[in-house]
Structure 1
């Protein structure tokens, strides 16, 4: 929706095909760095809570922490509803002249448009129709506890290929997991049982990770369709907005967009994968090496 909004603002005729009957992503933790306000200033009214740090727990049997690392964010994070954010941006897009057609899944590439941008999610039909490889996938599951909590930190518990999280959202608490799709539900259920947690509004969705952009002058991809998420957290909103701005800067030259995307994101993806593996390894094997209090830039680990 962000691309549709900004392209319409630039005077382009924009049509957005939304496969669902209503706008809004529900299976998303909605934890964004303050950069979100640089892209969508109007989203300030959606802030539910402010997050300044994270406690990362490496656990032994029974989910008992064997090591805990506190990481402070150099730029604070905000808890927001992704569903409400999507609807806010859709309203901005329509007010700027974009045409949004709901309940319209695409089963063939329309020929009447000069440019086509596939922003159709992790299981992108546009990506598949171009014969491109699939990104790597993990499964995300989330649920909510009806208990108010305005703490300014989140907690995570490390698991295979991911982590379980706890996010205080003001009026409620969110718990979730990102992990291998075969293990995620079993791990999450075990964690909830051990901690006597009974969640409401359970959602789930696949989380991609990759950088898959076609060499095509007429058709390209953006966002989850590219697989563009942070390797350490699975979050993708701010990275997708940065990618959208790269596309807007180079529009309508999709090949220049592809080149600049790889130049900007590929080093960050490689670095963050290596850094994540090192930190996980140290936490499990040499926890005394890790500092007890550390500061990072939450979108780029620097």
Structure 2
């Protein structure tokens, strides 16, 4: 990194206090920049996420090892007439995404970042933010207002739903059932089992309900969220996107935490160059 660029502190606004936004706030604050994160929710922590991460998550957050709830070594994929086993080349860890985000939140705060909660940024707010900050990073997920402000395609959105049963399981494998444009999953989380689906926004819920009824599964709670896909970045030295706001998610699973963090590292390496 250019030392001259690195030595000049900048005022940076990050819209969205999810995993990537908080990671960027932490690292940019350590580089002595003045960072403010605007998060629309009242508290930090993503809830609608399976929290199944490859072991690479420890490369970014070694402290997250204490959050591991289970180790996953393979997946059983159930097709209509057969099932296959796929062994993972790397171990996967089951973690609480909520707790992971809060771990990063504390790191960002300790590094000096200012985190503003319950602040839902609108397009009109971005005009004022552009006046008061040197750089703006949109990292606010599927419905990115920063992405919209740059007249970029909003990409494709799928619906994700999940819920839990209070069943203790330390199985070292997950299960998946392919459906149209997505799949249903089962993840043993130690003290509970998670079931979820990602699929077309108009069909995911009825497909999930039919699966649960067929298998006599009663979930104690259900949560839902949209997942965006379709990479897009603005041509601007003032504004950029990172993580799901940029559409950086896996087309097969909808996941993208490691992809987003890798993109964040690339952004940090080139900072303050956004083009």
| Structure 1 counterpart of 2:229, from 203, 209, 232 | 209
Tell me, what secondary structure is at the counterpart of 2:65?
helix
* Matched residue, 1:87: 102
* Matched residue, 2:15: none
| Structure 2 counterpart of 1:142, from 149, 155, 162 | 162
**Displacement of 1:233:** 1.0
| Structure 2 counterpart of 1:175, from 195, 206, 219 | 195
**Displacement of 1:175:** 0.1
Q: Please list the CA deviations of residues 208-267 of structure 1 after superposition, one character each: whole Å capped at 9, or x if unmatched.
A: 111111111100000110111111111111111001001000111000xxxxxxxxxxxx
* Matched residue, 1:289: none
**Distance (whole Å) between structure 2 residues aligned to residue 201 and residue 114 of structure 1:** 43
Tell me, what secondary structure is at the counterpart of 1:254?
coil
**Displacement of 1:38:** 0.1
* Matched residue, 1:106: 121
TM score, norm. by length of structure 1? 0.81
> Is 1:34–2:49 an aligned residue pair?
no
**Distance (whole Å) between structure 2 residues aligned to residue 56 and residue 209 of structure 1:** 23
Q: Please list the CA deviations of residues 133-152 of structure 1 after superposition, one character each: whole Å capped at 9, or x if unmatched.
A: 11111110000000000000
**Distance (whole Å) between structure 2 residues aligned to residue 68 and residue 136 of structure 1:** 30
Q: Please list the CA deviations of residues 107-148 of structure 1 after superposition, one character each: whole Å capped at 9, or x if unmatched.
A: 221021100000011110111111111111111000000000
**Displacement of 1:201:** 2.1
**C-alpha RMSD of matched pairs (Å):** 0.7
| Structure 2 counterpart of 1:19, from 24, 37, 40 | 40
**Displacement of 1:70:** 1.0
**Distance (whole Å) between structure 1 residues aligned to residue 43 and residue 221 of structure 2:** 18
Structure 2: stretches of 5+ with no match in the other structure: 1-21
> Is 1:193–2:193 an aligned residue pair?
no
Q: Please list the CA deviations of residues 48-84 of structure 1 after superposition, one character each: whole Å capped at 9, or x if unmatched.
A: 000010111112xxxxxx1212111111100001111
Of 100-109 and 172-181, deviating more is 100-109
Tell me, what secondary structure is at the counterpart of 1:208?
strand
TM score, norm. by length of structure 2? 0.89
Q: List, as ranges, runs of 4+ consecutive aligned residues in structure 1 with deviation greater than 6 Å.
A: none
Tell me, what secondary structure is at the counterpart of 2:191?
coil
Tell me, what secondary structure is at the counterpart of 2:226?
strand
Corresponding residue pairs, total: 249
Structure 1: stretches of 5+ with no match in the other structure: 60-65, 256-302
* Matched residue, 1:300: none
**Distance (whole Å) between structure 1 residues aligned to residue 228 and residue 141 of structure 2:** 9
**Distance (whole Å) between structure 2 residues aligned to residue 70 and residue 10 of structure 1:** 45
* Matched residue, 1:165: 185
**Distance (whole Å) between structure 1 residues aligned to residue 119 and residue 206 of structure 2:** 35
